[in-house]
Chain A
Amino acid sequence: MIPKFDYFRPKTTEELVDLLAKYGEDAKMFAGGTDLFVLMRDRLIRPKYVIDLKGIEELHEFSYDEKRGLRIGATVTLNELLESDVVKERFGVLWSAAGALADPTIRNRGTLVGNICNASPAADTAPALLVLDAEVEVAGKGGERTIPIRDFFIGVKRTSLKPEEFVKAVRIPNPPAGAKGGYYKWGRTRGEDLAVVGVAALVVNSGKRIVRVALSSVFKTPLRVPEVEKVFEEEGPLDEQIERAVSAVQEKIAPITDVRSSKEYRIHMAGVLTRRALKELFGGS
């Protein structure tokens, strides 16, 4: 049973801006609702107003431009992302992360923007967006602004959005030429599960090595580890660099013990997954 609420379904972003200006503090937005209604059912939140974004045509825009890259509107579902060849071929790390999130039925409703706005430390798409240097297009009464994804998450379930603001879309620039990537998720079961640890890695192995790594479920926010990038800035034997990267990750993260895993196991697995990710993306065993 879900507590009672008033429901709005605006048709334009202007209407949405007005609704948020009026009810922002007491309102929650949703597209898929796969996080929101679970939280409401469990009485973890009791918003007075619930605003459905699916009526706003503009927010469903999903486009790719050779120069500007990918733009994913707020109501674009994860399955729509997964069906896109561009995402699969050019943004492999995101494609892999989207496919690891929950299960196909959830992904049929759940959205990328919803996943990051929920701001769980375990958000599966967040590490991928972090290594892709995504940007978040935000709008509200005060106008529009862009938040780099690295500044978007500020705490457990907290973002830098103001109550009267909403996310219009996520923009992702083209990754460096030759980049390969993947999201390595560790769950307790293969069927729908939250990440015990998740590692997104992006690797360029032509000429100069470029490596970016970000993780889920090991910090109060999804976390990119720039120290890993520094390791690969200098030349050196690959195996040694990977081990240094593993150490960098394990030093940087600060996981907790909860019902899903102990802190120690999370640290261990962050290392194992980082090593496996980098070895695989560099074409080793």
Chain B
Amino acid sequence: MRKFKVVGKSVPKVDALALAQGKPLFTDDIELRGMLHAKILWSPHAHARIKNIDTSKAEALPGVHAVLCYKNVPRVIHTTAGQGWPEPSPYDIVMFDNKVRYVGDRVAAVAAETEEIAERALELIKVEYEPLPAVFDPERAMDKGAPVIHDEPDCKYIIPVFYDPKHNHCAHIDLEVGDFEQGIKEADFVVECKFKTHHEQHCSLEPHTCICYFDPAGRLIIRTSNQVPFHVRRIVAQCLQVPERMIRVIKPRIGGGFGGKQEVLIEEVCAMLAMLTKRPVRLAYTREEEFVSARVRHPMVMWAKTGVKKDGTITAIQLKVLSNAGAYGAHAMTVMNNTCAKALPLFRCKNIKWVADAVYTNLLPGGAYRGYGVTQAAFPMGVMMDEMAEAIGMDPVDFWKLNTIKEGETSPIFKALSETGRGVEMIVESCSLPECIDKGAEVFGWREKRERYKKQSKGPIKHGIGMCCLVQGGTVPLIDMASAYAKMNDDGSFNLLIGATDLGTGADTVLSQIFAETLDIPVEDVIVYPSDTDLTPFDKGAYASGTTYLSGMAVLRTAEKIREQILGVAADILGEPKEGLRIENKGVVSGKSGKRVEFSQIIKRALYGKDQFQIGATASEFSRLPPQSFAAHFAEVAVDTETGQVKVLSYVAAVDCGTAVNPKLAEGQAEGAILNGISYALTEEFIFDDRGRVLNPSFTDYKIFSAPDIPKITTILVPSYEPTGPYGAKTVGEVNINGPLPAISNAIYNAVGIRLYETPFTPERVLNALKEKRKSKIKQR
């Protein structure tokens, strides 16, 4: 492996100083002259037809400039999912419909001089609802006689996949590699369990925020907190029925996305209001609106069945998945597919069967959420692994190591399925998972703690440990594309224009590092400008852990093209052939003569001297395969048997993300994901009433971990070298969120002997499970 100068160094984030100084970097930090404020009226019903809307009183209110509803907005069926075209999500939503499908569904929108006037106007809108029966339980959604949520005739997929909205059946795929039943026959032990995972909100620090205005040429500018600016342009143009050339999308700094902003959730309404009023319009969600009318992680019901031989060979794996898509199908199929495509390649098993359905219900629509289906599947699979290891009396560390994919190996799943359907045959060319398991176990003290906790203290607090291994493929293969453009300036610095979307992750920094490394310049000489559909070339956006890997390759290729141009000019200056020259520390050096010419001389010659031209290039890269990032997670918990409380005492994650371009940022991604996962496992929970209303739409009662709750998290980066990635890099955004559910569940079992198959592991749930265990013990006697 070559030595790097900039890659592999924890250089400070390029935007850190401005952020720390509180500069006006975020969407909502600007105030435009004449800007109107938009507010949205939400459905109070889980399922209802709108018989009539009377907006006349609202329109008459002084200060109100526009009121939108199904009556005055064209019906354009589309998907809000910010995915590549043609989107693998059903077209099942319109800007305003005459039907509402969940509490929090959009009914009308107002633009007014102030937020206060807009709110008052909402109160003046009279809506006549005809309530319809609703269905909330995904296991009841396809029952005979269940209310049909999408009875509109125009809902459809625009790609050829299964879709049966008349039975609330949003997606279905199944596959089998090998022979599952035969595998079960060969097994010495068979384990079978039902699992349930719950809703989760992204809780980005910055809620969805958008400001739309017109430039002097009459083009619509959309300034928005979004992960997918190029998809925003396409989808807003579609909804407004205007050419894409009329729209420019600008993404400023973003206060977190986590998938929640891989969605065109508010931009099209804001844009429509701006079009109608010819005034700048601002639309920003409140925290409550984030909870009642944004997107969530798809809750799933899963049935797992596996077979294992006494020697530790897994003979069969079956995973059946029922995903609760909620009211609209954005990301429903792709998230569901990932429970197989991106989760199951981890396991060495010849016989795998997977059956998956996604159903509509009258609850919050699911969407993209960090982990994207792998989080859900990693839970049953991680617990099943623990159960199988126990069944054959093998230490989980050894069992995981034996049964996880290695470098140079393949999985039949790769070929069988990808996130969008078609799979890609591939070999795992980089994998340090075995070292991750060893190092993680050692740092964590696995063997020693395993011994120690065989004997529990007399008091109410019991200790336990659990582990799991994880994989997450990055990018959507054969679909995703990223690109970059760069030009050289008078002083030898460079503008790097990237379509890639930094959400606070540090992508701008990492991509600058890759560019700087390739041209052997310091990061300060890279002026990075991201995500502006007018100025930067296309990028699919920030999702599927794809930025470092894919946008990184595009940046690398761009820099390589520029290097060739620089060497060409240098050759002319030095009067030597290009082949003998190399780039070194902001200059070009001849290997033969030892002569050196500085970048500043080269660019001056190119711009002002001879045969003038702009040194600059653009390059793009599409994903040929999904690079596989791995991790081994270890959790130590204390379970209070009197209160039911589970406390995570320590957590170790050993992570293989290939080369960590910026180790501190990679650790930050890992630790953020782990904390997010622990909080999801223990305290985060939506509470709905029997009419489908969210009862806890605020941080007061939707509990996310904050600083005092954070356990000791240790991240160990265990490098590997991915030949298809920039300088060996893979991906790190998502894989680590998948660990806490299985690792903590396994640790609870180790501590108190109860298996939790349903999330989250709240004190009441743990206490009830402990009571059940005591009862069943009494019965056995």
Whether A154 is near chain B, meaning CB under 8 Å from some CB there, is no
Whether B18 is near chain A, meaning CB under 8 Å from some CB there, is no
Q: Known: A1-B116, A189-B703. Contact between A269 and B643, CB under 8 A? A: yes
**Residues 756-780 of B contacting A (Cβ, < 8 Å):** 762-764, 767
Q: Known: A191-B709, A285-B459. Contact between A262 and B703, CB under 8 A? A: no
User: In the assembly, what is the distance between CA of A1 and CA of B120, in Å?
Assistant: 13
Q: Which residue of B lies closest to A285 (CB)?
A: B459
The answer to whether B116 touches A259 (Cβ under 8 A) is: no
User: In the assembly, what is the distance between CA of A188 and CA of B642, in Å?
Assistant: 15
Residue-by-residue, is A236-251 near B (CB-CB < 8 Å gives 1, otherwise 0)? Answer: 0000000000000000
Whether B593 is near chain A, meaning CB under 8 Å from some CB there, is no
User: Which of B200-208, B400-408, B506-514, B693-701 lines the interface with chain A?
Assistant: B693-701
Partner of B767, one of A3, A191, A268: A268
Min CB gap A158→B, angstroms? 21
Residue-by-residue, is A191-223 near B (CB-CB < 8 Å gives 1, otherwise 0)? Answer: 111100000000000000000000000000000
Whether A272 is near chain B, meaning CB under 8 Å from some CB there, is yes
Min CB gap B682→A, angstroms? 9
Partner of A272, one of B459, B643, B703: B643
The answer to whether A190 touches B709 (Cβ under 8 A) is: yes
Main secondary structure on B side of the interface with A = loop
Whether A260 is near chain B, meaning CB under 8 Å from some CB there, is yes
The answer to whether A4 touches B764 (Cβ under 8 A) is: no
Whether A34 is near chain B, meaning CB under 8 Å from some CB there, is no
Partner of A191, one of B643, B706, B762, B764: B706
Instruction: List chain B residues, Cβ under 8 A from A188.
Output: 683, 703, 762
The answer to whether B642 touches A272 (Cβ under 8 A) is: yes
Q: Known: A262-B764, A265-B767. Contact between A191 and B708, CB under 8 A? A: yes
Whether B705 is near chain A, meaning CB under 8 Å from some CB there, is yes
User: In the assembly, what is the distance between CA of A175 and CA of B683, in Å?
Assistant: 38
Whether B115 is near chain A, meaning CB under 8 Å from some CB there, is yes
Whether B25 is near chain A, meaning CB under 8 Å from some CB there, is no
Residue-by-residue, is A45-66 near B (CB-CB < 8 Å gives 1, otherwise 0)? Answer: 0000000000000000000000
The answer to whether A191 touches B705 (Cβ under 8 A) is: yes
Instruction: List chain A residues, Cβ under 8 A from B30.
Output: none
The answer to whether B706 touches A189 (Cβ under 8 A) is: yes
User: In the assembly, what is the distance between CA of A268 and CA of B683, in Å?
Assistant: 19
User: In the assembly, what is the distance between CA of A103 and CA of B115, in Å?
Assistant: 30
Instruction: List chain A residues, Cβ under 8 A from B701.
Output: 259-260
Q: Which residue of A lies closest to B762 (CB)?
A: A188
Whether A186 is near chain B, meaning CB under 8 Å from some CB there, is yes
Instruction: List chain A residues, Cβ under 8 A from B242.
Output: none
Q: Which residue of B lies closest to A275 (CB)?
A: B642
Whether B217 is near chain A, meaning CB under 8 Å from some CB there, is no
Q: Which residue of A lies closest to B459 (CB)?
A: A285
Instruction: List chain A residues, Cβ under 8 A from B763.
Output: 265
Q: Known: A194-B700, A260-B701, A268-B767. Contact between A186 and B643, CB under 8 A? A: yes
Instruction: List chain A residues, Cβ under 8 A from B703.
Output: 188-189, 193
Min CB gap B647→A, angstroms? 9
The answer to whether B709 touches A261 (Cβ under 8 A) is: no
User: In the assembly, what is the distance between CA of A259 and CA of B700, in Å?
Assistant: 10
The answer to whether B767 touches A189 (Cβ under 8 A) is: no
Interface residue tally for chain B (C-beta within 8 Å): 23
User: In the assembly, what is the distance between CA of A191 and CA of B116, in Å?
Assistant: 33
Partner of A189, one of B459, B643, B709: B709
Q: Which residue of A lies closest to B286 (CB)?
A: A1
Instruction: List chain A residues, Cβ under 8 A from B764.
Output: 261-262, 265
Instruction: List chain A residues, Cβ under 8 A from B687.
Output: 259
Whether B707 is near chain A, meaning CB under 8 Å from some CB there, is yes
User: In the assembly, what is the distance between CA of A103 and CA of B116, in Å?
Assistant: 31
Residue-by-residue, is A1-41 near B (CB-CB < 8 Å gives 1, otherwise 0)? Answer: 10110000000000000000000000000000000000000
Instruction: List chain B residues, Cβ under 8 A from A103.
Output: 706, 708
Q: Which residue of B lies closest to A196 (CB)?
A: B763
User: In the assembly, what is the distance between CA of A3 and CA of B705, in Å?
Assistant: 30
Q: Which residue of A lies closest to B695 (CB)?
A: A259
**Residues 557-603 of B contacting A (Cβ, < 8 Å):** none
Min CB gap B415→A, angstroms? 44
Instruction: List chain B residues, Cβ under 8 A from A262.
Output: 764
Q: Which residue of A lies closest to B686 (CB)?
A: A259
User: In the assembly, what is the distance between CA of A190 and CA of B700, in Å?
Assistant: 13
Instruction: List chain A residues, Cβ under 8 A from B642.
Output: 272
Give the interface centre of A103, A188, A194, A260 by most chain B CB atoms within 10 Å.
Answer: A188
Q: Known: A190-B708, A191-B706, A259-B701. Contact between A1 and B115, CB under 8 A? A: yes
Instruction: List chain B residues, Cβ under 8 A from A268.
Output: 767
Instruction: List chain B residues, Cβ under 8 A from A189.
Output: 683, 703-706, 708-709
Min CB gap A129→B, angstroms? 23
Min CB gap B219→A, angstroms? 31
User: In the assembly, what is the distance between CA of A190 and CA of B459, in Å?
Assistant: 22
User: In the assembly, what is the distance between CA of A186 and CA of B643, in Å?
Assistant: 9
**Residues 226-285 of A contacting B (Cβ, < 8 Å):** 259-262, 265, 268-269, 272, 285
Min CB gap A249→B, angstroms? 15
Residue-by-residue, is B681-695 near A (CB-CB < 8 Å gives 1, otherwise 0)? Answer: 001000100000001
**Residues 165-202 of A contacting B (Cβ, < 8 Å):** 186, 188-194
User: In the assembly, what is the distance between CA of A256 and CA of B683, in Å?
Assistant: 20
Partner of A259, one of B115, B119, B696, B762: B696
Q: Known: A261-B764, A268-B767, A285-B459. Contact between A191 and B707, CB under 8 A? A: yes
User: In the assembly, what is the distance between CA of A194 and CA of B764, in Å?
Assistant: 17
User: In the assembly, what is the distance between CA of A272 and CA of B642, in Å?
Assistant: 7
Instruction: List chain B residues, Cβ under 8 A from A192.
Output: 706
Instruction: List chain B residues, Cβ under 8 A from A260.
Output: 701
Instruction: List chain A residues, Cβ under 8 A from B762.
Output: 188
Instruction: List chain A residues, Cβ under 8 A from B115.
Output: 1
User: In the assembly, what is the distance between CA of A103 and CA of B700, in Å?
Assistant: 13
Instruction: List chain A residues, Cβ under 8 A from B707.
Output: 191
User: In the assembly, what is the distance between CA of A269 and CA of B764, in Å?
Assistant: 10
**Residues 578-632 of B contacting A (Cβ, < 8 Å):** none
Residue-by-residue, is A98-115 near B (CB-CB < 8 Å gives 1, otherwise 0)? Answer: 000001000000000000
Give the interface centre of A4, A103, A190 by most chain B CB atoms within 10 Å.
Answer: A190
Give the interface centre of A4, A189, A268 by most chain B CB atoms within 10 Å.
Answer: A189
User: In the assembly, what is the distance between CA of A268 and CA of B763, in Å?
Assistant: 11
Residue-by-residue, is B148-160 near A (CB-CB < 8 Å gives 1, otherwise 0)? Answer: 0000000000000
**Residues 349-397 of B contacting A (Cβ, < 8 Å):** none
Min CB gap B43→A, angstroms? 19
User: In the assembly, what is the distance between CA of A188 and CA of B696, in Å?
Assistant: 14
Min CB gap A193→B, angstroms? 7
Q: Which residue of A lies closest to B115 (CB)?
A: A1
Min CB gap A43→B, angstroms? 9
Instruction: List chain A residues, Cβ under 8 A from B709.
Output: 189-191
Instruction: List chain B residues, Cβ under 8 A from A186.
Output: 643
User: In the assembly, what is the distance between CA of A38 and CA of B708, in Å?
Assistant: 23
User: In the assembly, what is the distance between CA of A4 and CA of B116, in Å?
Assistant: 9
User: In the assembly, what is the distance between CA of A209 and CA of B643, in Å?
Assistant: 28
**Residues 722-781 of B contacting A (Cβ, < 8 Å):** 762-764, 767
Give the interface centre of A1, A194, A259 by most chain B CB atoms within 10 Å.
Answer: A259
Give the interface centre of A261, A262, A268 by most chain B CB atoms within 10 Å.
Answer: A268
Min CB gap A180→B, angstroms? 22
Extra A-B contacts (10), CB below 8 Å, given A259-B687, A265-B764: A103-B708, A189-B709, A190-B709, A191-B705, A191-B707, A191-B709, A259-B695, A259-B696, A259-B701, A272-B643
23 sample A-B contacts, Cβ–Cβ < 8 Å, listed by A number: A1-B115, A1-B119, A4-B116, A103-B706, A186-B643, A188-B683, A188-B703, A189-B703, A189-B705, A189-B708, A189-B709, A191-B707, A193-B703, A194-B700, A259-B687, A259-B696, A259-B701, A262-B764, A265-B764, A265-B767, A268-B767, A269-B643, A272-B642
**Interface pairs A-B: 9 shortest CB-CB:** A191-B706, A190-B708, A259-B696, A188-B703, A191-B708, A259-B701, A190-B709, A259-B687, A265-B764
Contacts from B to A (Cβ < 8 Å): 115-116, 119, 459, 642-643, 683, 687, 695-696, 700-701, 703-709, 762-764, 767
